[in-house]
């Protein structure tokens, strides 16, 4: 744990150089403080708990229902940061490289950045579709233009299945 503390202190020091937050905890160290586990005996469980904590933090940050953010992440990747789809979508939130770049992601493989951008994108889709959760979820999967073109969930089997799965996890 001593090594982790040193890393967190170093990250905080670096963040303070670039972000005028003054003394105190940085955003990253706040997330990490809630993520650290004293025992490392069950690594897989611990990893998923860490992902859930980061998801909840990002959802709170962007005003998205945490249950919705978790349902999307669970459907996208099973909460795994290592997943890469056949289409090239990456990480917990399965961001396409172009979308990640538009969202300012520097390292699409970093779970924290991936989740932050994915939840921010979900918030954008909720805004685009005036809080209509079903349309926002469909847009997250098929793109907003497809939802606009069909004035709802596009008739794509993948998107219809995706929306149904997210909604079943969300309820």
Which residues carry out catalysis? 76
Nearest to 23 by CA among 31, 13, 33, 37: 13
CA nearest 148: which of 160, 133, 162, 136? 136
Q: Are 11 and 4 in contact (CB under 8 A)?
A: no
DSSP 88-130: --BTTTTB-HHHHHHTT-S-TT-HHHHHHHHHHHHHHHHHHTT
Q: Are 92 and 118 in contact (CB under 8 A)?
A: yes
Write the burial class of residue 25 (CB in 10 Å: 0-12 exposed, 13-18 middle, 19+ buried): middle
């Amino acid at each position: 744990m001593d090594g982790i503390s040193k890393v967190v202190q170093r990250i905080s020091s670096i963040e303070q150089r670039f972000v005028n937050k003054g003394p105190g905890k940085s955003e990253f160290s706040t997330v990490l403080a809630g993520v650290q586990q004293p025992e490392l005996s069950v690594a897989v469980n611990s990893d998923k708990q860490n992902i859930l904590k980061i998801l909840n933090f990002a959802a709170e940050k962007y005003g998205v229902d945490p249950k919705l953010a978790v349902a999307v992440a669970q459907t996208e990747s099973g909460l795994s940061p290592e997943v890469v789809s056949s289409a090239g979508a990456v990480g917990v939130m399965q961001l396409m490289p172009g979308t990640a770049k538009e969202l300012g992601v520097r390292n699409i493989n970093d779970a924290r950045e991936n989740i932050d951008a994915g939840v921010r994108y979900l918030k954008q889709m909720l805004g685009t579709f005036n809080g209509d959760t079903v349309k926002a979820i469909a847009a997250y999967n098929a793109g907003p233009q497809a939802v606009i073109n069909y004035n709802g969930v596009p008739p794509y089997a993948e998107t219809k299945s995706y929306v149904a799965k997210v909604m079943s996890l969300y309820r």
